[in-house]
């Protein structure tokens, strides 16, 4: 599977940092005599320089409990670096970062959010070049080398209530969701443009849009928040959830809730990435934090929360195969169509 995943993004990767365009926000590291990618020659030197920084400002859109677990472990390991966390939902976080960039202010050292947004930030020069030594443990399909790497991936699946949906009626393919028996009995998160773009990626644009229009005729209830949607299905207020991350279902299932999921193949999988900004107030602490999150130790914390991880030691291919998942990483370059997808999704589903 790894070869097929990597081939999805088989493109030329630039080995040099991009040229500064007028008004670009890339930080000119030459003026300081170093670059983000080559400053810290050794781990010991990086740690010493991070001590002088004393703080790292993290902008993240991930689950509160998970990001707090990461920051707590990091501060336990590096007590001389205070983690200042600014957490917002994905769309709000991107809006905040872009607004700060327009004002030529940079308050973040590290950004951790949806791959679509990470790609947008890289294109706008808001993410800086830092090739973490941990990056080599991640397949090419799960990173934009030197800019950001996937912290975890969200395979989108269909959740169902195990009490109200007989096993023989559990959807096995995308077309099954168009069955009249599900009309008015499904929920979905109506702002998940990464899922929308991912389905168009696996189906092809023309077929994918036609499918979305047919799906919208099923009178789907629109809600916001993975946790809320999973709870609605478990409570029997909906039979199915159309676009939910598998891990959100797994968490409730472990608590013996009457909920499970089925994978529609191939399953688009959103990437949640992390990277250092191009103008970090605390450069070395930022690098140290990114290295920690991507390390085996940091990833183990997320594994304990049931996340699907791309780092090689965690065997995403084997885990996916065991659970009946054929994962296709959503191409982050589709983030360039985020505004278009948002408008299309609203016009189709928010009638």
CATH code of the domain covering residue 180? 3.40.190.10
Q: Given this model, what pLDDT does residue 25 score?
A: 40
Residue 137 lies in a domain: yes
Q: Burial of 180 by CB count in 10 Å (0-12 exposed, 13-18 middle, 19+ buried)?
A: exposed
Residue 328 lies in a domain: no
Tally of domains within the chain: 2
Summarised one tens digit per residue, pLDDT across range 112-165 is 999 999 999 999 999 999 999 999 999 999 999 899 999 999 999 999 999 999
Predicted TM-score (pTM) of the model is: 0.84
Residues 263 and 292 in one domain: no
Same domain, 162 and 120: no
In whole angstroms, give the CA distance from residue 268 to residue 153. Answer: 10
Under a CB-based contact definition with an 8 Å cutoff, are residues 234 and 257 in contact? Answer: yes
Q: Are residues 199 and 276 in the same domain?
A: no
Is 276 within the bounds of a domain? yes
Q: Residue 274 domain-assigned?
A: yes
Same domain? 298 vs 311: yes
Quick one: 170 and 146 in the same domain?
Answer: no
**φ/ψ of residue 130, rounded to 5:** -145, 110
Specify which residues 269 forms β-bridges with.
155, 329
Q: What was the pLDDT predicted at 41?
A: 58
Domain residue limits at 31: 2-153+269-321
CA torsion angle 189 190 195 199 (round to 10): 120
Q: Please, are residues 272 and 279 in contact by the beta-carbon 8 Å criterion?
A: no
Kind of pairing between the strands at 327-329 and 240-245: unpaired
- Judge residue 99's burial from the number of C-beta atoms within 10 Å of its C-beta, 0-12 exposed, 13-18 middle, 19 or more buried: exposed
Tell me what pLDDT residue 297 has: 97
Taking the CA atoms of residue 89, residue 95, residue 100 and residue 104 in that order, the dihedral angle to the nearest 10 degrees is 150
C-beta separation of 310 from 139 below 8 A: yes
Q: How far apart are CA 91 and CA 233, in angstroms?
A: 25
Q: Please return the burial class of 285, using the count of CB atoms within 10 Å of its CB with bins 0-12, 13-18 and 19+.
A: buried
The reported pLDDT for the residue numbered 9 is: 40
d(CA 57, CA 44): 21
CB atoms within 10 A of CB 269: 31
User: So what's the pLDDT on residue 147?
Assistant: 96
Tell me: do 213 and 142 sit in the same domain: no
Which residues touch 148 (CB under 8 Å, ≥6 apart)?
Answer: 111, 115, 118, 122, 127, 273, 274, 275
- The verdict on 126 and 235 lying in the same domain is no
Low-confidence ranges of the chain (pLDDT < 50): 1-35, 37-40
Instruction: Examine the domain organization and report whether 118 and 33 are in the same domain.
Output: yes
Regarding whether 199 and 70 lie in a shared domain, the answer is no
């Amino acid at each position: 599977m790894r070869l097929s995943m990597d081939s999805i993004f088989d493109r030329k990767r630039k080995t040099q940092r991009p040229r500064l365009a007028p008004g670009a926000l890339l930080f000119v590291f030459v003026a300081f005599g170093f670059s983000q990618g080559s400053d810290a020659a050794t781990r010991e030197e990086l740690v010493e320089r991070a001590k002088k920084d004393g703080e790292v400002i993290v902008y993240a859109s991930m689950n509160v409990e998970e990001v707090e677990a990461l920051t707590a472990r990091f501060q336990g390991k590096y007590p001389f670096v205070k983690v200042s966390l600014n957490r917002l939902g994905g769309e709000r976080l991107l809006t905040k970062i872009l607004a700060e960039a327009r004002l030529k202010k940079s308050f973040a050292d590290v950004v951790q959010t949806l791959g679509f947004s990470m790609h947008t930030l890289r294109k706008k020069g808001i993410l800086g070049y830092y090739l973490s030594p941990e990056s080599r443990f991640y397949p090419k399909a799960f990173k934009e080398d030197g800019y950001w790497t996937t912290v975890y991936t969200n395979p989108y699946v269909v959740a169902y209530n195990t009490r109200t949906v007989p096993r023989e009626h559990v959807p096995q393919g995308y077309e099954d969701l168009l069955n009249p028996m599900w009309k008015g009995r499904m929920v979905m998160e109506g702002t998940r443009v990464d899922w929308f773009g991912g389905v168009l990626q696996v189906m092809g644009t023309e077929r994918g849009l036609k499918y979305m229009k047919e799906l919208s005729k099923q009178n789907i209830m629109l809600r916001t928040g993975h946790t809320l949607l999973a709870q609605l299905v478990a409570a029997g207020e909906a039979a199915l959830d159309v676009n939910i991350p598998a891990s959100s279902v797994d968490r409730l299932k472990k608590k013996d809730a009457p909920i499970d999921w089925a994978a529609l193949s191939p399953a688009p999988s959103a990437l949640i990435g992390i990277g250092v900004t191009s103008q970090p107030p605390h450069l070395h602490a930022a690098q140290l934090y990114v290295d920690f999150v991507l390390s085996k130790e940091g990833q183990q914390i997320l594994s304990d929360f049931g996340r699907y991880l791309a780092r090689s030691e965690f065997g995403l291919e084997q885990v996916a195969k065991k659970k009946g998942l054929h994962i296709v990483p959503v191409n982050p370059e589709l983030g360039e169509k985020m505004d278009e997808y948002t408008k299309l999704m609203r016009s189709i589903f928010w009638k």
